[in-house]
Structures are given as C-alpha cells and as structure tokens.
Amino acid sequence: MDLAVIPRNLHFLLGGLVLTLELAAISLLGGFLLGILMGLGRLSSRKWIYYPATLYVNFFRSLPLILVIFWFYFMVPIIIGRPLGDFLSAIIAFIAFEAAYFAEIVRAGVQSIPQGQVMAGYSTGLGYYETMRNIVLPQALKNMVPPIVTQCVIIFQDTSLAYVIGLKEFLRRIYLVDSRELRSVELYLFAGFVYLVFCSIGTITSRRLEKRQIGR
Amino acid sequence: MLSYDFDWSVLWKHPYGRWMLEGIWTTITLSSLAFCIAVTVGLMVGVFRVLPNRITRLIGGSYVELIRNTPYLVQLFFWYFGLPSLLPQASEKWLYDHVPSLPYWTGVVCLGVYTASRVGEQIRAGMLSIPTDQYQAAFSTGLTTYQTYRYVIIPYAIRIIIPPFTTEFLTCFKNSALTMTIGVLETTGASYLIDSYTWHGLETTTAASVVYIVITLCVVLLMAWVERRIHIPGMIARGR
C-alpha cells in the first residue's frame, strides 16, 4: 500500500470530480425536465402523445447506457455530419437516457394523486395545464422526492460511464493516474470511497425524506 | 445530408457474423450466471437483514450500502485491475497468462456481487410485505414451521417477488454491457470491435440495440405470461 499516490495527484483528480459533478447536475436537470414531459405524455389520453412517449420510455429503458453513449458519440455525428465533442455527446446521452427513468417516477407520482383532485380542478373551471400546474404536480412532486433523490445517486454513479468515450471525469482520471503510477488497489479504493461518500449522503437523505412522509 | 454508405452485410459476413453471435451468446451466459450468483448471495443478504440479530443485520446492511453506493464500473476495475495485484507476483502472472477468460469470469463475479445487493433489497422488501396474519393463520390450523413455509409463505412470497426479479434481471442483463471495458466481447463489445475493423458502426450499433430490445421484450412477455399462469385469485395482479 502506498497511499501517497493520492495526495500526489489530488489536484488532477479533484478536477475530474468537478467535471463529474457538472455532468451529474446538468443531466439531472435536463433529464428531469424531459422526464416530466415524457411522464405526462405516458398519462395522456391522446393516442398521438401516449404512444410516442411510451415508445421513448420503453426504448431507452431496454438499452444499456453504454450503448446510448456510443450512439451519441460515434453514430449521431455520422448522421448529422459533424462531431458533437465528448462533453456534449455525453450530456445528451445522459439526458436522453435518464429522462426515461424520470418519466416513470413522474408517472407513478402523478398516479399517486387521487382522481378526485383532478376532477375537483376541472369542476372549478381550470383547464388541463392549470390543473396539472397548480393542483396535481405540486402534490405529486412531494411524493416523488424520495425516488428522485435515489435517481440522483444513480445518475451520479452513471456519469462514470463517460469514461468509455475518454471524457476526463473522475473515473477516467483515476484510470490515467493508475496507468502512470501502477497503484490500482489504492486508486480504485479511493475512487470507491469518494463515490461512497457522495452517494451515501444522497441515500441517507432519501431515506429520511421517505420516513418523514410515512410519518405525515 | 447523410453521406454514409450502408452495408448491412458486415453483420453476417465472415468473421464478423460469428463475432456478433458469440457476443450475443456471451451477453446471455454472462448475465445469467451473474444473476444466479446474485440470487444466491442476495437471498443470504436479504435474510440477514430481516433476522432478529443485530450482527447479521449490520453485515447485510453494510453490504448493501457499500455496493449500492459505488458505481459498478469502479467495482469492476477494482476487481480486475486491483485485486490481482494484491496476490504474490508469481500467481498474478500465472493468472493473467493461464486464464484466458479472466475478464469474463471477473465480469460474472463482479456483476453477480453487484446485482446481489439489489436482489437482497427486493427479497427483504418481499419478506416484510407478507402480513404476520399469514403466519398466525397457518400455525393456528396446526401446520408445523416447515409446512407453514412450504405451503403458505413461500408460494406467496414467490408471487410477490417475481415482478421485481424480472426488473433486476433486466438491469443485470443491461449492466453486462459494461464488461466490455475490461475486454469482454459481449454484444456491445463485439459491435464496437466490428466497427473498428470495418468502419460500419451504424449497422453494428443498430444491431446491438435491436438485440437488447428484443431480448428485453422476450423476457418481459415471458414473465408476464408466468405471472398470469401462477396468479392467485384475490391477490393484486401485476403485469397485466
């Protein structure tokens, strides 16, 4: 064991951690917004909205993330005729992929709201958009918070897959340091530890929120 | 506009067709073997977490937290790059020289251990969801402990656990694609390899995507059928 390898490369590794956090934050925000649209689409009674949304969700949920990343990094540039760059293609892949999972969270959240609430909304003269915006979504969001926090943890872990296209996020930098210093055990234990700390915060938060909701 | 020369024949031309088929076969065997490990270990972890014993609960709980809160890729690299270097030099060299399918077996074990944490949670949730009335009712009709489990609890538990197990198997199946990072030529790895030989990645990646979608669909349909077959009237039915 030679733990000195970590302080020696700490600056380089922290840079990767920042990039990982950036990736996670952007994918989270984008994925969630697209996920709301897709989730509501899955609940729509209009067939031309329902079927495309369902197809989207099921399509992305049956592909491995690594394949989706390949699609946006190698294949989409061929189709559109210009490269997207590693950061942009990773971001698009993450947003497209995570949106499918968020859509299911949103759908379950909205379905947890009793039908009476929607009827009450309509009967006071509100339209679909206003009912959703002012009555259903605020209540549903509260129910959705624990699974959303869990999904944040998953997204944070998933960003490590950007490794495959050479994006220098945390895991890729660990790998680079390892190939120079040949200290696999220390470096991967350290990587695991860092991810563990960040993810545990998320997991504990999610569990707290869940307990508080049951207690309500 | 799209200036790309489609040549779908790379999917069956020699030797690429064989690589692709071998890739699909590797994906199937790797994820199935890993899932067997996951169920065995997961059963232990799940039972550990509901036993009325603080130490087993601590062990089960730490296992789940440790595995679930670190990315699968980090675990895979640790198992593949890290662990062998802890061995004495001679045996490390022997391992790399004499076990040609080392990445494959590392992938199986690592994926199994990873999925076990998720399966364990599902098993725990399944066991906790069986109402205590069931036990009391079974005991009060004079069944022994063995009979209670054999005829009342287990048949009940299996039906509760099938839908989440289907999901977990599919997650395991998709996660198997990550083993390409340590050099296993499963479906994604094979499509990537053919791409680097032929520059026809669009065809191979499409083929790989179709493979994943078709297998997922088959598993979902099969399990929905199984659920319908063993459905107990009066229990909440899912997957219909």
User: pLDDT of A4-48, one tens digit each?
Assistant: 888 999 999 999 999 999 999 999 999 999 999 999 999 988 999
How far is Cα A196 from Cα A190, in angstroms, rounded to an integer? 10
Q: Is pLDDT above 90 for B25?
A: yes
Model confidence pLDDT, tens digit, residues A116-142: 898 999 999 998 889 988 988 888 888
DSSP state of A81: S
Position B234 pLDDT exceeds 70: no
Statement: residue B92 has pLDDT above 90: no
Query: pLDDT for B185-225, tens place per residue?
Result: 999 999 999 988 988 888 899 999 999 999 999 999 999 99
Mean pLDDT for all residues in chain A: 91
**A21-25 contacts: CB < 8 A, separation 24 or more?**
A23/A87, A23/A90, A23/A91, A23/A94, A23/A159, A23/A162, A23/A167, A23/A169, A24/A152, A24/A155, A24/A156, A24/A159
Q: Is B239 a domain residue?
A: no
**Rg (Cα) of chain A, in Å, rounded?**
21
Please report the pLDDT score of residue A11 as a whole number: 92
Q: How many CB pairs (< 8 A) connect A and B?
A: 110
For residue A194, what pLDDT band results from cuts at 50, 70 and 90?
A: very high
Ramachandran assignment for A174, one of left (phi > 0), alpha (psi -120 to 50 degrees), beta (any other): alpha
Q: How many degrees, rounded to 5, is the angle at CA B106 between CA B100 and CA B112? A: 145
Burial class (CB in 10 A: 0-12, 13-18, 19+), B208: buried
- Report the alpha-carbon distance of residue B138 to residue B131 in Å, rounded: 12
The answer to whether position B28 is within a domain reads yes
Q: Please check whether residue B186 is in contact with residue B27, taking contact to mean a CB–CB distance below 8 angstroms.
A: yes
**Position B239 pLDDT exceeds 60:** no
Percentage of chain B surpassing pLDDT 70? 96
Minimum Cα–Cα distance from A172: chain B residue: B74
B237 confidence band (pLDDT: 50, 70, 90): very low
Question: Residue for token digits 């730490």?
Answer: B62
Is residue B235 in some structural domain? no
pLDDT tens for each residue of A131-181 = 988 988 888 888 888 899 989 999 999 999 999 998 999 999 999 999 998
What's the confidence (pLDDT) of residue B4?
75
Angle, CA of A8, A14 and A19, to the nearest 5°: 150
Average pLDDT, chain B: 89
Nearest to A64 among B74, B85, B174 (CB): B174
Q: Does B74 touch chain A (CB under 8 A)?
A: yes
Let me know if residue B226 belongs to a domain: yes
B188 domain-assigned: yes
- Give the CATH number for residue B54: 1.10.3720.10
Distance from CA of B70 to the nearest CA of A (A): 5
**Residues of B numbered 165-194 whose beta carbons fall under 8 angstroms of chain A's beta carbons: which are they?**
170, 174-178, 180-181, 188, 192
In CATH terms, A5-215 corresponds, of 3.40.50.261, 3.40.50.970, 3.40.80.10, 1.10.3720.10, to 1.10.3720.10
Structural domain range at position B164? 10-230
Tell me which of B157 and A1 has the higher pLDDT.
B157
For the cut 50, the answer to whether the pLDDT of residue B163 exceeds it is: yes
Answer whether residue B203 is part of any domain.
yes
Residue B240 pLDDT: 35
The answer on pLDDT for B99 being more than 70 is: yes
Q: What is the pLDDT of residue A83?
A: 84
At residue B6, the 3 state secondary structure works out as coil
Average pLDDT over residues B87-98: 82
For chain A, what percent of residues have pLDDT higher than 90? Answer: 63
Structural domain total, chain B? 1
Instruction: Answer whether B195 sits within 8 Å of A67, measured CB to CB.
Output: no
Is the CB of B77 less than 8 angstroms away from the CB of A195? no
Q: What is the pLDDT of residue A182?
A: 87
pLDDT above 80 for B80: yes
Q: Would residue B240 count as lying in a domain?
A: no
B182 inside domain: yes
Q: Answer yes or no: do B77 and A184 touch at CB < 8 A.
A: yes
What average pLDDT does the segment B35-54 reach? 92
d(CA B98, CA B110): 20
